[in-house]
Amino acid sequence: METGQTTNLTKPERKARYFSESFRKQKVTELEKRITTIAEICRTYQVCRNTVYRWINKYSSLKQQGVRLVVETESDTRRIGLLEQKVRELEQLVGQKQIELEFHQKMIELAEETYRIKIKKNSGGQS
């Protein structure tokens, strides 16, 4: 599973996942370039810190040089989180607009009934 969607998986579902070697190398490269953080990877892909550290030990070019890696900058993992937050905000806005639309439609219906006039246009081409 190489998607960046944060989901709440059960333990058996998390254990059944497999991250490809290219994905793991990509995430380690992002860590080395300070594009992402270990915490962000853990949160976004629901993997434990130990798993990420194993990836670092296996794929890090800095490990071979004896350099200790400290990571704290922006990445696609952070962007995914921001995009998910934006989607939630937009879904909430759509819900509010739907309520407003239904309210206005009901008000038109009530006005038509009360004043016995036609406010809505016929969409069938009849006048």
Q: Which of 3-7, 86-90, 122-126 has the weakest average pLDDT?
A: 3-7
- Asked if the model's pLDDT at residue 8 lies above 90, the reply is no
- Asked if the model's pLDDT at residue 4 lies above 60, the reply is no
Give the global pTM: 0.46
Q: How confident is the model at residue 123 (pLDDT cuts 50, 70, 90)?
A: low
**Residue at 2 is within a domain:** no
**Residue at 40 is within a domain:** yes
Q: What is the pLDDT of residues 27-62, one digit of tens each?
A: 999 888 888 889 899 999 999 999 998 998 888 876
User: Contact 76/29 with Cβ under 8 angstroms?
Assistant: no
Domains identified in the chain, total number: 1
| CA 124/CA 127 separation, integer angstroms | 9
**Residue at 111 is within a domain:** no
**Residue at 15 is within a domain:** yes
Q: What pLDDT sits at residue 5? A: 46
List Cα–Cα distances, 80 to 30, 57, 118, 124, in angstroms: 14, 25, 49, 45
Q: What is the pLDDT of residues 67-92, one digit of tens each?
A: 555 544 456 677 788 889 999 999 99
**Residue at 65 is within a domain:** yes
Q: Which residues form the domain of 68?
A: 11-85
Number of neighbours of residue 16 by Cβ within 10 angstroms: 10
Nearest to 68 by CA among 54, 78, 57, 79: 57
